[in-house]
């Protein structure tokens, strides 16, 4: 075991604070990573506050991790100390089931092991995430960061990036595709960048006129105000693909109405009940309503490589570890453009009177 310093919550109503805990000793196929930066995902906030009623404490969140390899287990051949690497939402899976064989480890039939708030497959110990000085991960779940990318901005690709990339790829978005992105937050801003880089014609659908200029700067050719009934009507049924990134309950019917023949609307944000869907909205134009959850490891590497080739990075606001509670408050108020990233070199300075985990 190695001593680790992290930042997490001891209960649903506690602020995040320093926590000392232990990481496992390296197994033969493990990689130990010194964490440089970790993104703050909206789901970190839900998990810490037990919004999904499944949080185990202490909860040390973080699944947008980048850093450098510090040590490797004796059977690891693909990585060596010093390599620039990343870890996303997954740290292990069974490797043998149908989903794993199809390289969709996130849907492992025996249950994928998530980066935090999950149980290690061998010991049953709670997993702890990237708000910490290092992490130990099975080699197959470690990703390579293209050297062309500025490491300070890479972390959000590991969740927000792959969550939007995977459905864009599955539905073949590319040149000639009319894409709409609903909601301009952490996920939405990545969706605009990635869809535009894939060659699609991108429209941002937002309730906020103030976001129009930002959406265009990110790569959207058009902006459609969903609060403008006349504009929504005149948009007709012009979209092939709509990516809905709204993180809470909402009515998808007005967006379904914008889909053309065989159009698909994919949900990636709202993990909660939606307003009732009108069957007629789906039957007309043979529309589909679908969902998508992160992506497999190979697909995540594909996304990182694409971002490396095209110079795509999230827009980040760098914060110090001690400011994470304030960042959560701002996240709830939608006050970030578009992702907070924690500079882990500030972790030690935030460690005043840490508690045992
Ligand atoms: Zn996430
Ligand atoms: Zn599996």
Which of 45, 38, 28 is closest to 134 using CA atoms? 38
- Residue 41's SS3 state is coil
Report pTM.
0.95
What confidence tier does 24 reach under pLDDT thresholds 50, 70, 90? very high
SS3 31: strand
The per-residue pLDDT for 357 is: 45
The ligand that comes nearest to the alpha carbon of residue 331 is 1
Model confidence pLDDT, tens digit, residues 135-192: 999 999 999 999 999 999 999 999 999 999 999 999 999 999 999 999 999 999 999 9
- CA 208 to CA 212: how far, in whole Å? 8
> For residues 4 and 22, what is the distance between their CA atoms, to the nearest angstrom?
5
DSSP state for residue 235 in the 8-state scheme? T
Structure tokens at 16: 């995040």
Contacts of 311 (CB under 8 A, 6+ apart): 148, 149
DSSP state of 204: E
Banded model confidence at residue 354, pLDDT cuts 50, 70, 90: low
Of the candidates 60, 69, 78, 268, the residue with the CA atom closest to the CA atom of residue 162: 268
**Helices 297-310 & 186-197 angle (0-180, nearest 10):** 70
- How far does residue 104's CA lie from ligand 2's centre (Å)? 8
Which ligand is nearest the CA of 293, by number? 1
Q: What distance in angstroms lies between residue 88's CA and the mean position of ligand 1's atoms?
A: 8
- Residue 224 to residues 191, 211, 229, Cα–Cα distance (Å): 16, 10, 10
Nearest to 122 by CA among 93, 79, 90: 93
Residues less than 5 Å from ion ligand 1, measured at CB: 41, 43, 159
Calculate how far, in angstroms, residue 89's C-alpha sits from the geometric centre of ligand 1.
7
Give the pLDDT score at 334: 87
Query: What pLDDT, on a 0 to 100 scale, did the predictor assign at position 355?
Result: 54
Q: What's the pLDDT band for 350 if we cut at 50, 70, 90?
A: confident
Kindly identify the ligand whose nearest atom is closest to the C-alpha of 112: 2
Number of Cβ atoms within 10 Å of the Cβ of 305: 14
The Cα–Cα gap between 63 and 44 comes to: 8
pLDDT of residue 353: 54
């Amino acid at each position: 075991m190695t001593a680790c310093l992290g930042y997490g919550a001891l209960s649903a109503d506690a602020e995040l604070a320093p926590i000392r805990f232990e990481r496992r000793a390296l197994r033969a196929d493990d990689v130990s990573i010194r964490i440089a930066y970790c993104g703050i995902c909206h789901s970190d906030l839900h998990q810490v506050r037990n919004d999904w009623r499944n949080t185990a404490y202490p909860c040390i969140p973080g699944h947008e991790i980048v850093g450098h390899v510090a040590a490797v287990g004796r059977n690891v051949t693909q990585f060596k100390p010093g390599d620039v690497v990343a870890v996303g939402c997954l740290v292990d899976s069974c490797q043998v089931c149908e989903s794993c064989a199809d390289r969709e480890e996130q849907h492992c039939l025996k249950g994928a092991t998530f980066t935090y708030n999950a149980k290690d497959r061998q010991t049953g110990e709670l997993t702890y995430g990237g708000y910490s000085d290092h992490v130990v991960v099975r080699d197959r779940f470690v990703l390579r960061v293209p050297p062309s990318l500025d490491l300070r901005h890479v972390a959000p690709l590991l969740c927000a990036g792959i969550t939007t990339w995977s459905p864009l790829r599955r539905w073949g978005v590319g040149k000639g595709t009319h894409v709409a992105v609903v909601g301009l937050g952490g996920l939405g801003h990545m969706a605009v960048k990635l869809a535009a880089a894939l060659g699609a014609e991108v429209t941002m659908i937002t309730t906020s006129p103030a976001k129009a200029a930002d959406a265009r700067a990110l790569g959207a050719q058009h902006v459609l105000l969903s609060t403008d009934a006349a504009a929504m009507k005149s948009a007709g049924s012009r979209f092939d693909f709509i990516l809905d990134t709204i993180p809470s309950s909402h009515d998808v019917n007005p967006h379904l109405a914008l889909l053309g023949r065989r159009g698909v609307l994919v949900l990636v944000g709202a993990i909660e009940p939606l307003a009732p869907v009108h069957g007629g909205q789906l039957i007309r134009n043979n529309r589909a309503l679908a969902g998508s959850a992160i992506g497999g490891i190979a697909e995540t590497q594909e996304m990182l490589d694409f971002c490396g080739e095209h110079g795509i990075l999230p827009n980040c606001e760098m914060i110090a570890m001690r400011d994470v509670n304030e960042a959560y408050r701002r996240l709830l108020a939608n006050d970030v453009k578009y992702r907070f990233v924690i500079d882990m070199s500030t972790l030690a300075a935030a460690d005043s009177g840490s508690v045992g985990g």
